[in-house]
């Protein structure tokens, strides 16, 4: 009941705003329909532990330096979507694949009945094994059919998973597992990072490829355009893809190099996501196109905040 | 042990004239047997799948030593009465001619068997086994070159002058002596297959040695030039550069930029050499275009893709040329042009997934979200699981040629 009520409040705030400020047709209306209400999924921790029971009054949010009036809802109280994006390239074959299945299954078991989940696997190609559904049994079955073979199309898979979630009003976690660098994607990095940064979702990554993959997200402005630039090399940014993707969405990268760590990392990612707050606001005094840097503050001494660094209007 | 092997000669034939099949009348057959030679013989007899399976199960410890002993010394022992080949060569020149003839047949077959086994083992993720057989295949090619080289007193088999002209330079070209040409072809294919296997594995560091060998022996082969270009291109990839810069000091970003520019320049030169050697080689034109696209030279790249498309009736290259032309159009901001070319690519290769994703991106960029999401239906397990896309193989150089190369090689060494 609490969950439904909280969801209703969020929607009640969001829906009239969208209706009242229906934008005129645009040539490239990327997420235009929902851009009028900006949602920022925010993690607040103190010494690594999440701080609960915060209200809107505890937060200050600045959009391009202009303070905004926000509402805050705990994601703990609402239905969520989770997209599992799993690397099933040849390097995962054997025990690691089973550990991956186990970890993903553990996460699915941790979902609530009303939460939706999807499974996207990638090797040379990308497969949507299960679209977003509340049928968790079907999701678990889809996990069992995953086979390990081929190369690594990480960027293509990330595009697919972000596009899959387009239009959802639920807080969305995209959890990517990979143990290697991209070797076969067609899509360039910049449109994928740009799309993710416009979407109201958090991308977390669990990696098992050593120090080179295990780096901290880079919270710099993502590429402005969803189309490639003429002079941008086809492979630009591929080496920092997960760093930029997680950084653009306020996510994190964690180590899942061993089986037990993998399961722990998956479940922990979900648990952490649930402790986030969804801050929502209708931008005021910043009605301009382009990049909007965001700054979130909380009135708690010693608190650490993780949220996306901005969005593109 | 050897005596016991020699005692059961009857069924195993290491046939001296096998490699010259259909060219010269067969001389008297010579039978030499050992468990190892039995497998080589099976391979030569055409039961190649079984031979490869047997060889893959053969212990790899001291395999190189076993191969040399059985292929080289045992033949010499049987035909000349001594396993000391140097002594046999000088003391029994007539008998030794037959040894050379036997080696001319058995060494290419054994080398082919080992590279074939390496490919099979790699497919089964048995990397150590694959590597042992790949290395041994090249050792046998070396042994072949070394042992079948003319002695000072002359040799019954003329050494192929593969560096002198085009006669032995391409896998489809046959020189004046068919027997020697086929051996040269086998040697060339085994070397290339070794390179392609390493490309498939993404083992860039290991490729250099067999590639250098191939460059030296087959400088006129456009496939060798292609492989060299692909090695440089792979080394210019951002992830490869990050890996290569580990442990370096100083301004790493600057080093990576310079290294990338150098590698791409080298790749372009090698691909251009391939087109000089074979102007109709669509893959080389396509790769030239890709390198140009990597360096932001969109218009030049587009011209190269058009040339690749014009040079081929092969749908693989038509598909890739359309894909890359679409990307070039997209990069120029020509969204309708890009869309049209992606659709043409999809028509050329209907199972491909890359154009589907590219079109979904264009749809999304145009605000057509429903259309963009609808395209994801092509990625369901039922359809996406069957997808085949030549783009996925692009980053693995010429590894996509392995199957065809192996078929040719098997045909070449079969008795």
pLDDT tens digits for range B365-394: 999 999 999 999 999 887 766 678 999 999
Question: Closest residue of B to A227, CA-based?
Answer: B365
B200 to chain A: which residues are within 8 Å by CB?
A: none
B114 has a pLDDT exceeding 80:
yes
State chain B's mean pLDDT as an integer.
Answer: 83
Residue in chain B lying closest to A236 (CA): B238
Q: Residue B154's closest CA among B100, B85, B77? A: B100
Q: Do B392 and A126 touch (CB under 8 A)?
A: no
Predicted pLDDT of residue B384: 63
Flag if A145 and B380 touch (Cβ within 8 Å). Answer: no
The reply to whether A191 and A223 lie within a common domain is yes
Count of other CB atoms within 10 angstroms of residue B115: 31
Same domain, A142 and A69: no
Report, as an integer, the average pLDDT of B232-259: 87
pLDDT of the residue at A259: 61
Number of CB pairs, chain A paired with chain B, less than 8 A apart: 131
Residues A269 and A126 in one domain: yes
Does the structural domain B297-395 have CATH classification 1.25.40.10? yes
pLDDT digits (tens, 9 = 90+) for B294-333: 888 888 999 999 999 888 888 999 999 999 999 999 888 8
| Distance between CA atoms of residues B213 and B188, nearest Å | 10
Same domain flag for A151 and A259 = yes
Q: Which of B290, B367, B391 sits opposite A30 (nearest CB)?
A: B367
Verify that A267 and A284 share a domain, yes or no.
no
The pLDDT value recorded for residue A220 is 63
A158 shares a domain with A72: no
Measured in angstroms, the CA of A187 and the nearest CA of chain B are apart by: 7
Residue B282: partners with Cβ closer than 8 Å, 6 or more residues away: B308, B309, B311, B312, B314, B317, B321
- Do B239 and A124 count as a contact with CB atoms less than 8 A apart? no
Q: Is residue B193's pLDDT more than 60?
A: yes
Alpha helices in A153-240, H assignment, sequence order: 154-164, 189-198
Chain B CB contacts of A26 below 8 Å: 367
The most confident of A258-262, B253-257, B405-409, by mean pLDDT = B405-409
CB A282 within 8 A of CB A17: yes
Contacts within 8 Å (CB) and 24+ apart, B215-219? B216/B163, B217/B162, B217/B163, B217/B187, B217/B188, B217/B191, B218/B162, B218/B168, B218/B169, B218/B188, B218/B191, B219/B163, B219/B169
- Alpha-carbon distance values, B84 to B36, B66, B72, B92 (Å): 20, 16, 9, 11
Calpha distance A10→A71 (Å, rounded): 8
Task: Give me the pLDDT at residue B219, please.
Answer: 86
Q: Both A134 and A255 in a single domain? A: yes
Contact B29, B78 (CB under 8 A): no
A194 shares a domain with A134: yes
Is there a single domain that holds both residue A171 and residue A53?
A: no
**Token representation of residue B306:** 């058009």
Mutation site, A213, A226, A227, A236, interface B, largest B CB count within 10 A: A227
H/E segment holding residue A18: helix A2-20
Q: How far is CA B405 from CA B127, B186, B195, in A?
A: 20, 10, 12
Kindly report the CATH number assigned to the domain that includes residue A261. Answer: 3.40.50.410
Record: contact A234-B335, CB cut-off 8 A: no
Count of CB atoms situated within 10 Å of the CB of B293: 23
Which of these, A195, A128, A92, A4, lies nearest to B353 by C-alpha position? A128
Mean pLDDT of B48-62: 94
pLDDT band of residue B247 (cuts 50, 70, 90) is confident
ipTM of the complex in this document: 0.84
Structure token digits, residue B330: 């997209």
- Edge-to-edge strand ranges of the sheet holding A253-255: A126-133, A116-122, A81-87, A172-178, A201-207, A253-255
Contacts of B302 in chain A (CB under 8 A): none
First to last CA, chain A: 35
Ramachandran class of A127: left when φ > 0, alpha when ψ lies in -120 to 50, beta otherwise: beta
Based on the structure, what is the number of domains in chain A?
Answer: 2
A13 and A105 together in one domain: no
Angle between helices B335-348 and B315-331 (to 10 degrees): 170
* 3-state SS class at A4: helix
User: A279 - beta bridge partners?
Assistant: A40, A72
| Rounded Cα distance, A42 and A309, in Å | 11
Measured distance CA(A193)–CA(A224) in Å, rounded: 9
Same domain, A250 and A191: yes
CB contact under 8 A, A128 and B384: yes
> Residue B137's pLDDT band (boundaries 50, 70, 90)?
very high
Chain A nearest CA to B313, separation (Å): 23
Give yes or no: residues A52 and A190 share one domain.
Answer: no
Q: How far is B230 from chain A (nearest CA, A)?
A: 14
Task: Give the pLDDT confidence score for residue B352 in this predicted structure.
Answer: 94
Q: Which residues of A touch B394 (CB under 8 A)?
A: 184
Q: Domain residues for A234?
A: 77-273
Q: Do B357 and A160 touch (CB under 8 A)?
A: yes
Q: Where are the domains of chain B?
A: 1-202, 297-395
Q: Mutation target for A interface from B125, B203, B379, B388: give the one with most A CBs within 10 A.
A: B379
Residue A118: the pLDDT is 97
pLDDT of residue A61: 97
Per-residue pLDDT of chain A (313 residues; tens, 9 = 90+): 343 333 333 333 333 333 333 343 333 333 333 448 899 999 999 988 999 999 999 999 999 999 999 999 999 989 999 999 999 988 888 888 899 999 999 999 999 999 999 999 999 999 999 999 999 999 999 988 877 778 899 999 999 999 999 988 899 999 999 987 888 999 999 899 989 988 889 999 999 876 566 566 666 665 555 555 556 777 888 888 999 999 999 999 988 876 678 889 999 999 999 999 999 999 999 988 888 999 999 998 889 999 999 988 7
Residue B156: predicted pLDDT: 36
Q: Which of B238, B369, B394 sits opposite A239 (nearest CB)?
A: B238
């Amino acid at each position: 009941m609490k969950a439904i009520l909280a969801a209703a409040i969020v929607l009640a705030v969001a829906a009239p705003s969208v209706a009242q400020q229906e934008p005129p047709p645009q040539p490239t209306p990327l997420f235009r329909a929902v851009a009028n209400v900006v949602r920022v999924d925010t993690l607040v921790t103190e010494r690594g532990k999440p701080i609960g029971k915060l209200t809107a009054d505890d937060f200050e949010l600045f959009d391009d330096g202009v303070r905004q009036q926000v509402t805050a809802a705990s994601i703990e109280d609402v239905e969520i979507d989770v997209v599992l994006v799993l690397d099933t390239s040849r390097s995962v074959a054997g025990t690691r694949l089973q550990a991956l299945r186990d970890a993903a299954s553990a996460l699915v078991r941790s979902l609530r009945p009303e939460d939706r989940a999807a499974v996207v696997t990638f090797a040379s190609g990308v497969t949507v094994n299960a679209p977003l559904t509340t049928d968790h049994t079907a999701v678990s079955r889809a996990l069992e059919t995953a086979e390990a073979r081929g190369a690594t199309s990480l960027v293509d898979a990330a595009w697919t998973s972000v596009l899959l979630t387009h239009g959802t009003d639920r807080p969305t976690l995209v959890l990517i597992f990979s143990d290697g660098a991209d070797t076969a994607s067609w899509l360039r990095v910049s449109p994928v990072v740009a799309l993710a940064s416009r979407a109201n979702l958090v991308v977390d990554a669990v990696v098992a490829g050593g120090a080179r993959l295990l780096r901290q997200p880079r919270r710099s402005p993502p590429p402005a355009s969803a189309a490639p630039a003429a002079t941008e090399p086809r492979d630009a940014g591929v080496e920092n893809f997960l760093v930029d993707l997680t950084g653009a969405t306020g996510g994190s990268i964690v180590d899942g190099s061993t089986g037990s760590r993998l399961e722990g990392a998956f479940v922990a990612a979900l648990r952490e996501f649930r402790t986030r707050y969804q801050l929502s606001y209708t931008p005021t005094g910043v009605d301009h196109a382009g990049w909007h840097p965001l700054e979130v503050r909380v009135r708690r001494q010693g608190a650490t905040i993780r949220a996306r660094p901005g969005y593109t209007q | 042990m050897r005596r016991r092997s020699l005692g059961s000669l009857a069924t195993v034939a290491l046939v001296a004239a096998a490699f010259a099949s259909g060219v010269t009348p067969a001389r008297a057959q010579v039978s030499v047997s050992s468990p190892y030679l039995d497998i080589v013989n099976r391979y030569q007899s055409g039961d190649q799948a079984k031979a490869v399976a047997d060889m893959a199960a053969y212990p790899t410890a001291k395999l190189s030593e076993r191969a040399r002993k059985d292929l080289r010394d045992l033949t010499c022992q049987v035909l000349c009465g001594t396993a000391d080949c140097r002594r046999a060569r000088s003391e029994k020149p007539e008998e030794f001619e037959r040894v050379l003839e036997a080696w001319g047949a058995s060494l290419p077959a054994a080398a082919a068997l080992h590279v074939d086994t390496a490919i099979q083992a790699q497919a089964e993720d048995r990397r150590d086994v694959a590597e042992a057989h790949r290395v041994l295949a090249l050792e046998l090619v070396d042994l072949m070159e070394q042992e079948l080289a003319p002695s000072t007193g002359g040799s019954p088999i003329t050494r192929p002058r593969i560096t002198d002209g085009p006669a032995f330079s391409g896998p489809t070209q046959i020189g004046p002596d068919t027997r020697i040409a086929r051996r040269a072809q086998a040697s060339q294919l085994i070397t290339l297959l070794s390179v392609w296997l390493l490309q498939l594995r993404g083992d860039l560091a290991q490729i250099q040695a067999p590639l250098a060998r191939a460059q030296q022996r087959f400088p006129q082969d456009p496939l060798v030039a292609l492989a060299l270009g692909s090695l440089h291109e792979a080394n210019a990839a951002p992830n490869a550069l990050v890996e290569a810069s580990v442990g370096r000091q100083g301004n790493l970003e600057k080093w990576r930029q310079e290294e990338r520019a150098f590698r791409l320049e080298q790749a372009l030169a090698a691909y251009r050499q391939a087109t000089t050697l074979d102007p109709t080689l669509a893959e080389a034109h396509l790769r030239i275009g890709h390198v140009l696209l990597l360096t932001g030279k969109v218009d030049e790249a587009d011209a190269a893709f058009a040339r690749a498309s014009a040079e081929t009736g092969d749908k693989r290259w038509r598909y890739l040329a359309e894909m890359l032309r679409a990307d070039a159009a997209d990069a120029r901001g020509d969204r309708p042009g890009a869309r049209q070319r992606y659709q043409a690519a999809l028509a050329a290769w209907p199972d491909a997934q890359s154009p589907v994703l590219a079109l979904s991106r264009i749809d999304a960029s145009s605000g057509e979200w429903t259309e963009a999401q609808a395209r994801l239906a092509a990625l369901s397990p039922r359809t996406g699981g069957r997808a085949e896309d030549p783009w996925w193989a692009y980053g693995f150089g010429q590894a996509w040629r392995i199957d065809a190369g192996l078929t040719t090689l098997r045909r070449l060494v079969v008795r």
